[in-house]
Structure 1
């Protein structure tokens, strides 16, 4: 059982250095890993460097870069000396990055060579130093201008005499550890303040439902600057002696599959979109490619058998050793989860938010219950506020050591998030008799009909996305009617039209005619599979993929009331 003298990130680092000294900690795929003992030396040197630059306890340090061992060591160095890390998503624009740096009052910026060009130093006059993430060395633009293709290198593993004599401050449990700026789906970025206790308590609570140990290998494919990957995919492995591997290229299939074969990961964290694409673009087409296969697939017993065979193949593609495939960040589609569940793939769905460090609910793969997000993890509390007397549904409220300190420089917004000491999640859900949480959708997205019925757009979207020609969708209300935007699967649609051309002797219609016919078919399909008050009045094509948040939720505010 993992335990610490104090719930601080420094205590995680200290214990791991002692217990797992010779075990590999961080590595790029195919490169030499840094072990825990060497990592501790490098982290100490970085902390000493920051202290020499003028960074003290409570000072803010921005961290901008792609996933890498150096990113992780910079994070540990900043937080273990009592400073506050401000991880910034690499997908943010330069203007957004600069805005966050200024709002957080960061004194030093760690930045990768690839992203340095996004920043205009003239707009950041209060930064006292820049540190190149690729080699963890300070640099002055007058003497060096980083170019995007500078490779990553691990600093030398020797105590730096220039820094070893400085006395570094130690963080306390309630000290601020990180400020996380999220884009969210509302378009209003917020700086979530997380303490050492918030983060480390969530590490310990999560380990109570899912074991992670020194034999585990985690392949990291989600951005470390998001709390989901940082806490579950970085701090937990660092606390348990596991090894984390990073990709040095974008996680395309041509990069990801060889990496999985090389690492043979035991654990992977994912957002729903990844497994949904694999299922819809690869697995389902193979299982329904002929009329006979489609007939067999529509018969439950044979569908389950086919799912079992396909899941075994997917497990082998992923390296053959995975025992935990964690999914979070958004709701997984019905069809994709049915494939995982019936195929007995070792998946688990968790639910949380940045404001809760992040995990609130989850389970081990052996305890997964279909279409739920698991149960409230130990050490935290969850309840339903003002539940509907007929359905038991209501807003999910939570409290515990994992709940944020508040929003940075925004006490008014912070106050609106709490009700009698409970954090308001803004999510609607239901807790069954066994404690499993079923999510319905965001309370701000819920549509109340004139007859008093509650409509959850996410549930209608789940039905829409089952259609073979739909990749993703968004449902909203306009003038009392339900409208759906759909982004079509062009590859499947083009194949469909081509087959019609070949088989129809008097083919006279063009692609647009059949495109509209498909939209009509989708609406008929949806309206025959939802309740009367959830039926669509109009469906329109969304030509481009929807703009999404880092956890791949559609930014709804960009699309409502646009027609």
Structure 2
């Protein structure tokens, strides 16, 4: 059994809650720009600390006038936007509990959350969300208030709040204690029914302040104002911690409700943030977009040489910092400087040109992609965490990134590897339990340790390596236990492949469902001088299948024969969140994909050999 415990950087709070930082900022830096709102003409409307505190106070008063009280649960169903943040801080200011709801949630999912939490009210973004909540309302649901953001509900609350004595709000805020519940945040449900995680003010304060104290220097270059674009779902703990941390330390935040690359990349180029929080999907898309643009401009060979040089350069730097080498040699440094002007600067420009450090979370970032970005001058600090740990519980140490790992335990936390390789964690960020589910809480929390369900190991220097998830382990009919993570990551790294799900549970061998990257395939066809094709035709295109088959063979070279993919099926469409196949943090819902494509999986194991078999 392995175990590593890291001392705290700061002591746990003894009083107060999350909303206190809003009013502390007013006293210290009232004119500091806290948020930047998109305005007509490509401009940005500043929201100062003074304005934000005033609006929080007014909305909090409006909530009190409408009967929301200390300890009440209130849901928020919206995309990532300023109004989400305003509503959350207003609720925390009066001691209420925020219940985040994903904006893509179904009526059934919303009904379960509202019934489970007993939420008395719900903020929604638009009419579609309002209709979903209305359809979810039932006789056992205490919901009596609905505020629709795009219909001016927050303005109405501000107006009503003007009649409420601000001192009353401040008295309620002063009554909030660190151990009080701040969030009931539901898991994304990759392996089963979502559960409500009870996160206290102390959990979130520990997460935010530890990251700020230990990693705050990465947010901007000396002399620059730290800024970022918030686009991750605020209903996901990771996305919410990004914004809460920014409020606590004074980072200027812009919002992009649409996280698709088509919407996000122009926002990054226009706002020019100094730091980036993202998930691996975003970095993968950035890389694919750069590769596709190079191909379209006839610079494909140059780009691929630059990729190899960046990976070798960053790997040599990593070995040098670990005392395992002298770092990049003269020839490699010369090539790197040349490619920096020709390629790497263009990659940085896609993010606005000022990002030099970034964080990746939600799932492990592929080692080669992390090395490439580092070689481009963007160091990605990969971390690991869950909703139950208030986002990150491990992170890469500053200046000592080890790509291929998710870093070391955050200060104030410990990681233990059980005898069956399950990752157990303990510390300040670990949640209080599952709401209204004592049996699940007892199963997950034992002797202060939280059983994550993930598998991993600690390397000799205490860096955590994720090797899989217990519930994802495939056991073939021959009794072979296989973790699909390595194969799936390897295949997703291919330029034409966007997704992969390895299957084989209770089957005689391992197989895979593979999806194609639509933009990359379109570019590939154009370079070949071929006409665009419908997705149904692409899955039987022999030339394209040849590329996929070779990619599978390369992935198989990383594992044993018993673990290798024997056959595969290319699907006509990518896995999508609208179909319920991806979580809001863009991770594959394995059970949903397996259920959706049950017939295709059965065909992979039919008596007739697959024409795509290796």
Contact 2:291 2:303 in 1 (8 A): no
Contact 1:307 1:339 in 2 (8 A): no
Contact 2:59 2:157 in 1 (8 A): no
Which residues in structure 2 correspond to 1:279-290 (within 5 Å)?
279-283=287-291, 286=294
In 1, Cα distance between the equivalents of 2:520 and 2:545? Answer: 15
Q: 2:182 is matched with which residue?
A: 177
Q: Which moved more, 1:35-44 or 1:483-492?
A: 483-492
CA positional deviation for 1:333: 2.7
Q: 2:134 is matched with which residue?
A: 120
Question: Aligned pair 1:215/2:225, yes or no?
Answer: yes
Question: Aligned pair 1:480/2:508, yes or no?
Answer: yes
Q: 2:100 is matched with which residue?
A: 87
Q: Residues 444 and 321 of structure 1: is their aligned pair in 2 closer, same or farther, counting only changes over 3 Å?
A: same
Question: Aligned pair 1:407/2:423, yes or no?
Answer: no
Which residues in structure 2 correspond to 1:308-319 (within 5 Å)?
308-309=340-341, 310-319=343-352
The Cα offsets for residues 182-235 of structure 1, whole Å up to 9 and x where unpaired, read as: 23212411111111111111112212321167931111111111110111x111
Q: Residues 98 and 460 of structure 1: is their aligned pair in 2 closer, same or farther, counting only changes over 3 Å?
A: same
Q: 1:10 is matched with which residue?
A: 19
In 1, Cα distance between the equivalents of 2:399 and 2:340? Answer: 16
Q: 1:148 is matched with which residue?
A: none
Q: Which moved more, 1:313-322 or 1:485-494?
A: 485-494
Contact 2:16 2:176 in 1 (8 A): no
Q: Which has the higher helix share?
A: 2
Q: 1:21 is matched with which residue?
A: 30
SS of the residue corresponding to residue 560 of structure 1 reads helix
SS of the residue corresponding to residue 91 of structure 1 reads coil
Q: 2:608 is matched with which residue?
A: none
In 1, Cα distance between the equivalents of 2:125 and 2:301? Answer: 53
Q: 1:269 is matched with which residue?
A: 277
In 2, Cα distance between the equivalents of 1:198 and 1:452? Answer: 41
CA positional deviation for 1:126: 2.6
Q: 1:101 is matched with which residue?
A: 114
The Cα offsets for residues 15-35 of structure 1, whole Å up to 9 and x where unpaired, read as: 222222211112323342221
CA positional deviation for 1:236: 0.7
Match of 1:160 among 156, 159, 162: 162
Question: Aligned pair 1:228/2:256, yes or no?
Answer: no
SS of the residue corresponding to residue 239 of structure 2 reads helix
SS of the residue corresponding to residue 21 of structure 1 reads coil
Q: Residues 82 and 369 of structure 1: is their aligned pair in 2 closer, same or farther, counting only changes over 3 Å?
A: same
Which residues in structure 2 correspond to 1:297-376 (within 5 Å)?
304=313, 305=336, 308-309=340-341, 310-363=343-396, 366-376=399-409
CA RMSD of aligned residues (A): 3.2
Q: Residues 537 and 396 of structure 1: is their aligned pair in 2 closer, same or farther, counting only changes over 3 Å?
A: same
- Length-normalised TM-score, structure 2: 0.79
CA positional deviation for 1:492: 4.5
Q: Residues 234 and 413 of structure 1: is their aligned pair in 2 closer, same or farther, counting only changes over 3 Å?
A: same
- Length-normalised TM-score, structure 1: 0.86
In 2, Cα distance between the equivalents of 1:19 and 1:501? Answer: 62
Question: Aligned pair 1:439/2:466, yes or no?
Answer: yes
The Cα offsets for residues 74-102 of structure 1, whole Å up to 9 and x where unpaired, read as: 10111221111101111112332233122
Contact 1:56 1:83 in 2 (8 A): yes
In 2, Cα distance between the equivalents of 1:481 and 1:254? Answer: 39
Question: Aligned pair 1:426/2:453, yes or no?
Answer: yes
**Structure 2 residues without counterparts, runs of 5 or longer:** 1-8, 314-335, 531-536, 576-580, 602-614
